[in-house]
Structure 1
Amino acid sequence: MQPLNLPTYTFKIKSKENNYAIFDIIRKKYMVLTPEEWVRQHIVHYLIEEKKYPISLIAVEKKLTINNLTKRTDVLVFNTLGLPEIIVECKAPSVKITQATFDQIARYNLKLKANYLIVTNGLTHYFCKMDLENECYVFLENIPNYANNS
């Protein structure tokens, strides 16, 4: 897999039925190692190891229903009250981040009302804080560490 613009982590990877699988510490099982999964696993480890978010507050591929359609958030981080704090949308490194990507995460956030959004393809990252009063997002250099946010 290609190197990403994130710190490097040690992953459990195994060969499985002519594919590779990567161990997801949140779902506690091996997942097919696609380029998007590679990005997802890096961002999960980034949130845990660099930003110090507890594993217990992180969900991966959490279902939500929007207009009677089932969707899944790539990564969802909750606060200590169990409310959505951060939504992460991951794309494969080959996928350019476009307005459509922001529209997708914004639709999810109409329902979830998280305080922060992250959009990444592993190479380019966008960190946003929601400004609910003005109904827009403000771009940030990064998201706060868990200790500064809890």
Structure 2
Amino acid sequence: MQLLNFPSYDFRVKNSQNKALIFDLIRKKFIVLTPEEWVRQHVVIYLINDKKYPQSHINVEKQIVINGLKKRYDVVVFNPDGTIHLLVECKAPEIKISQETFDQIARYNLDLDATYLMVTNGMSHFYCQMSKSDEKYQFLKQIPEFSR
């Protein structure tokens, strides 16, 4: 797999039925290793190792219903009170981050109401903080480390 713009991490990878699989710490099982999954797994380890988010607060690839349509978010980090701290949208490295990508995460966030958003293709990372009062987002250089 392609080197990404993240620190170097060790992953459990195996082959099964001619498919590469990667172990997902959150789902606790091996997942088919697609380019998007490669990015998602880097994000999860980055949040745990580098930003100190508790593994128990992270959720991966869950279905949500938005405007009557079934969608899936990539990664969510919950606050201890159950509200959503961070919503992450992952794209494969060859997918350019565009306004459409931000529109997608913004639509999801209308229902999820996360404080922070992260959009990444593994090469470029964008972070923003939501202002609920004026429904705008402010770009940040980083997302904050976990604090209790």
TM-score by length of 1: 0.97
**How far, CA to CA, are the matches of 2:23 and 2:8 in structure 1?**
15
Aligned position for 2:80: 80
Alignment partners' CA distance in 2, 1:101 and 1:142: 18
1:33 maps to amino acid: L
Task: Measure, in 2, the Cα distance between the counterparts of 1:71 and 1:27.
Answer: 18
In the TM superposition, structure 1's runs of 4+ consecutive aligned residues that sit over 6 Å from their partners are none
Counterpart position of 2:29: 29
Match of residue 50 from structure 2: 50
Unaligned stretches of 5+ residues in structure 2: none
Q: Report what 2:135 is aligned to.
A: 135
Give the aligned partner of residue 122 of structure 1: 122
Deviation sequence 1:93-120 (CA, Å, 0-9, x none)? 0000000000000000000000000000
Given residue 49 of structure 2, which amino acid in structure 1 is its aligned partner? E
Q: What TM-score do you get using the length of structure 2 for normalisation? A: 0.98
- Separation in structure 1 between the aligned mates of residue 66 and residue 135 of structure 2, nearest angstrom: 19
- Out of 126-135 and 43-52, give the one that drifted further: 126-135
CA-based RMSD: 0.6
Q: How does 1:5-20 map to 2 (within 5 A)?
A: 5-20=5-20
Structure 1 segment 66-77 matched on structure 2, within 5 A: 66-77=66-77
- Alignment-mate amino acid for residue 105 of structure 1: I
Range with greater deviation from structure 2 (132-141 or 26-35): 132-141
Q: Distance in 1 between matches of 2:118 and 2:83?
A: 17
Q: Distance in 2 between matches of 1:18 and 1:3?
A: 22
How many residue pairs get aligned? The number is 148
User: Hey, what does 2:91 align to over in structure 1?
Assistant: 91
| Distance in 1 separating the partners of 2:133 and 2:82 | 22
SS in 1 for 2:5: coil
